[in-house]
Structure 1
Amino acid sequence: MTRLAELLPFNAGETIASYCSRLAVACGYRHSRSFANDLGFRFQGLVVGNYTDVKQFASVLDVPESKLSPGVIVTENRTSTFSGQKLTRALMERYRLRLCPLCIRDDERNLEGRKGFRAYGRTEWLVSPIRTCETHGTKLITPIGEDARQYMHDFAVNLAIAAANVEEFLSQAEPMDTDSLQSYVQARLRGMPTASPWLDTMPLYTAVRLCEIVGAAERHGVRFKPKTLSDQELSAAAHTGFNILSGGADEFRDWLVGKTEGFYRKNSDLGGRFLFGRLYEKVAYETDDSAYDPIRHIMREVVINTLPLGPGEEFFGPVTERRIHSVHSASREYGIHPARLAKLLAAAGLITVEASKFTFEKILVAADTMERFVAEAKKGLNATEAKAALNAKGTQFEQLVKLGYIKADVEDETGVFSFINRFSPSEIEEFLRKLKGAVTCKDDGSLVDLQQTRKRAICSFGEVVELLFGGKLSRVAVASCEYGLGATRVDVDEVRDLTAGASHDGIPIHHLVKLMPSSSKITRVLLAEKRIPTVRLRNPVTRNLQDYVAPKDLAAFMREFVSLGSLATQAERRTWTVKKELHDRGVMPIFVAGGMPFYRRSEAEIAD
């Protein structure tokens, strides 16, 4: 070891450039480049970790190269490597001083070596994601007014300029907590176990950038602007990002899936920039570094698994298979109208009510499910098609569905989903087979179709079908000019006899007027006031429920009461004359209906 090496010790964690700079200034040089040239090596060579220059510097100091190697930062093609870790130039702060003022103060107070030159530059101070001094809990700073371009990388020279006003220099120290990403970076640089084996599989610069972008996107949206974030906010974003990703690839995948929900917003698209913002821009446009390939692969898998991308489209390479269908993409592929497809999916329970309100491009179903669903849907018939297959007239088809002869909802073969208002061709065929089986004779021209039969027999269509399938009709034929329901012919009289209602002796209301010696107005009042009771009975012909008067109730009323009009008619006298005579004899009306007085017949006849 030479006297030069004894002048100042090489400290743990110090950069080799910082050590050379301190020795140069301690020896009276204005800058390190002159010092290095005089000793036969290049200062810039030490800065970039050139082996020849490092070897010559070690020879000048008469120390083993291994003693200086921890402070060597090898820089090639904009990438710096030290402690076995790689960091890009964007993640290194090498052109300006970056330090902890309190560490500089403590170095001068506590370290060995010539006074005034004890403070040294740490390798970790050059790493951008390391923002806080662990020892003092303060933010690493670039001294106010410091311009390192004249003495780039020359730590001691720049420090002397920055620390000329000691009080102002120390006043720049401000408290700041250590974020979790910084702790992770320091663990990797120090060769210690980390909290994320998955991030360990990546180069350090890749892990850092991923955490910072994910954290900022989580806090400020995927389209955040990095230049608008303060150091404190960058630290908070790094902390958030590391906490999301430290659990591994599954956590990253879940985070990406959450971001794909932006697809459902208005005016959205399937573009990676829209979905993932800065993260996509970084890995798609700003770098083709293969170190980001695992990230690209996960992003690709998430998008293909959650969004309707198919062959002919690209996302980090051509898409070769479709895993998700939208109603729009399925309608184009399978030739089915999107509105109809959306209704069928909603009816089958494959999409929620909320999802059915989206545009067709945003209603999503797994591709294999959609393929099977559409295949089954094409097998079923809609109402118009089923009606035509049956040759049903008027409302016959709707009545068959209502009565359960035709099932309206068709299940797929697996029973996983059903098609609302879709009709199975096989069920239609089975109905027609049963209809054909009901035929008992040839059409001789005397039989009529089911539509006319229903009207002329005054019965329901369902009753006719029930008689047909129940084997109750002896004369059933098929017209050669038609098919299905429209071709079926039956005997109207036979149907009428079989569907006629039970007979009874009830008097219909419209017949009552003919049986009573009163006007229809008076009769309606008598019925409304319950003077004559009514009963609800079924019409033997139409079989509709209607009001009737029992003969015994009518007879009872006629025996009990008599109207003034009837008395006057019987006596062949004027009503006012009869009324006056009854009044004079003390016979008063029992009630008045429709303006006509009614007397108790026994009293009126006695009075007469």
Structure 2
Amino acid sequence: METYLIERLRHEADLPPQWLDMLPFYAAARMCEMLGAVATRGIRFYAKSLTEDDWYVCGGAGYAIAEKGEDGIRMLLSRLQDSFQNTKHDWGPRSTFGRLYEWLAHENDDEAYDPLRDLITRHVIQTMPVGPGDEIFGKDVATRRLHSLRSASLEFGAHPKRLRKLLHAAGIIGPESLSLSDDRVLFDAAGTQHVLERIGHAMPLKEAGKYINAPRPHERLLFDAGFIQPFIRGGTEQLKDHAFAKQDLDAFLNRLLAGAVEIDQDGRFLPIPDAARRANCAAMEIVRLILDRTLGHIGRRLDVSGYLSVLMDPEEVRSHVRGPELQGLNLRSVEKLLRVSTATVKALIKGKHLPSGEMLNPVNRCPQTYVREADLKIFMERFASIDVLARESGTRGHLLRPRLDAMKIHPAFVLSEVDLAFYDRRELSEVLNTR
């Protein structure tokens, strides 16, 4: 340090420029001593206890820092911050930099040290959670660069514990931050502004359902169908760890109610849950019809809010959700054509004597068994029950059966469930006058 100062006196114009040159001769010397004292004796050193020899050592240590310019000084500031990281004290610049900050802020107002004040100010703004409302060297901080969990919690009204969980789920803070105290967990303020604004009014799925006035379990149905989505998904399968933004829920309701006409609920227009039951369809099918603007008439109740305020005509809904028609005859029609009982038709299908298929009923959406007309025609042309044969022959079954047995004409199959015999018409064509 002494060599540098002497060279400044002798050959100031010829020296290579360095950061210290911004300070007057006396200020450069004193700043090196203060930097060295903080670096070698700690942030709470007692100045009056230092001897001339001590200050000599501090000056040399400080010059070794200052000759590296801004980078060297910021390395010292970062080292002081690191040593303060695991303490429980307030993490402000005064607490972190101790006597160095107090000397510049309160013990002198010499403008000669402004380059050092400006450097520390920039370092604090870039590495500490300070923002509007905070002061550094008596000047207000205009812009926030970093947030801590604590500062973000205070600004956006989110509980620190939930805020920590949501920021971790969103990948904004890493797992190494989970063990730190709220004011030690730092993250970019500008880059997370949008997320933080949403977190401030975020809610889990159960609360989201209450907010949009959707009865249980419709909030889960809306979530599963993708109509409402969390902007942050929790790290577990528990829905309470998801975060739904108030803005997103409002946008969903606005889409749901767009173009709705204010009417009173009557027997014709019903809310989504009631209309779904009346139309024999899923509630989410109705929501999709509404959002796709498929329905021609959408109403809303003035005395009810949100999801349950939406009204529609279930008959109109039914016309849109009706499924494809059965590809054949239902079992009731088969019974009438075969002139047999329900049990007989089921036994024929179970025994695979009568081909059948299954598809959803176009109205009630329930699985329904059907028989193709062509398959039924083939069956009726080939097989007939003893009762049908008796009617065709103008007799009765209990009289016809012994005659067939006597002629050694045996049934093609017998339905044990109903004890009913079916004969192959081809074997009977030469014996009986059948169709």
Which TM class, normalised by the smaller chain length?
A: 0.5 to 0.7
User: Partner of 2:29 in structure 1?
Assistant: 203
User: Partner of 2:70 in structure 1?
Assistant: 249
Distance 1:591 1:483 in 2: 63
Distance 1:500 1:378 in 2: 43
SS of equivalent to 1:203: helix
Distance 2:329 2:380 in 1: 15
Task: Answer yes or no: is 1:506 the counterpart of 2:321.
Answer: no
Is the CA contact (8 Å cut-off) linking 1:260 and 1:303 kept in structure 2? no
Cα RMSD between the aligned structures? Answer: 6.3
Q: Which runs of 5+ in 1 are unaligned?
A: 1-80, 87-186, 218-237, 411-418
Question: 200-209 or 477-486, which moves further after superposition?
Answer: 200-209
The structure 1 residue matched to 2:247, chosen from 423, 433, 448, is 423
User: Partner of 1:601 in structure 2?
Assistant: 424
Which structure has the higher relative contact order (CA within 8 Å, separation 6+)?
Answer: 2
Task: Answer yes or no: is 1:535 the counterpart of 2:357.
Answer: yes
Is the CA contact (8 Å cut-off) linking 1:311 and 1:319 kept in structure 2? no
Pick closer, same or farther for the CA change 1:292–1:502 going to 2, 3 Å.
closer
Pick closer, same or farther for the CA change 1:397–1:312 going to 2, 3 Å.
closer
Structure 1 letter corresponding to 2:282: S
User: Deviation of residue 189 (structure 1)?
Assistant: 12
Give per-residue Cα distances to partners, 1:355-399, cap 9 Å, x unaligned: 764543333245566777655665788766765565433455565
The structure 1 residue matched to 2:91, chosen from 260, 270, 275, is 270
User: Partner of 1:460 in structure 2?
Assistant: 282
The structure 1 residue matched to 2:260, chosen from 418, 427, 436, is 436
Q: Map 1:113-132; keep pairs closer than 5 Å.
A: none
SS of equivalent to 1:451: helix
Distance 1:574 1:267 in 2: 101
Q: Map 1:185-196; keep pairs closer than 5 Å.
A: none
User: Partner of 2:45 in structure 1?
Assistant: none
Distance 1:462 1:519 in 2: 36
User: Deviation of residue 481 (structure 1)?
Assistant: 4.6
User: Deviation of residue 265 (structure 1)?
Assistant: 5.7
Task: Answer yes or no: is 1:306 the counterpart of 2:113.
Answer: no
Distance 1:491 1:312 in 2: 56
User: Partner of 2:392 in structure 1?
Assistant: none
Distance 2:301 2:30 in 1: 86
Is the CA contact (8 Å cut-off) linking 1:355 and 1:363 kept in structure 2? no
Distance 2:343 2:216 in 1: 46
Q: Map 1:564-603; keep pairs closer than 5 Å.
A: 601=424
Task: Answer yes or no: is 1:556 the counterpart of 2:378.
Answer: yes
Task: Answer yes or no: is 1:325 the counterpart of 2:147.
Answer: yes
Task: Answer yes or no: is 1:364 the counterpart of 2:194.
Answer: no
TM-score when scaled to structure 2? 0.56
Distance 2:310 2:361 in 1: 28
Structure 1 letter corresponding to 2:29: P
SS of equivalent to 1:325: strand
Pick closer, same or farther for the CA change 1:488–1:204 going to 2, 3 Å.
closer
User: Deviation of residue 539 (structure 1)?
Assistant: 0.8
Pick closer, same or farther for the CA change 1:367–1:602 going to 2, 3 Å.
closer
Is the CA contact (8 Å cut-off) linking 2:323 and 2:362 kept in structure 1? yes
User: Deviation of residue 454 (structure 1)?
Assistant: 1.0
Give per-residue Cα distances to partners, 1:521-578, cap 9 Å, x unaligned: 7743x35xxx6544343312223555533233244356557899x99x9677999x97
Q: Map 1:59-70; keep pairs closer than 5 Å.
A: none
User: Partner of 1:13 in structure 2?
Assistant: none
Pick closer, same or farther for the CA change 1:505–1:270 going to 2, 3 Å.
closer
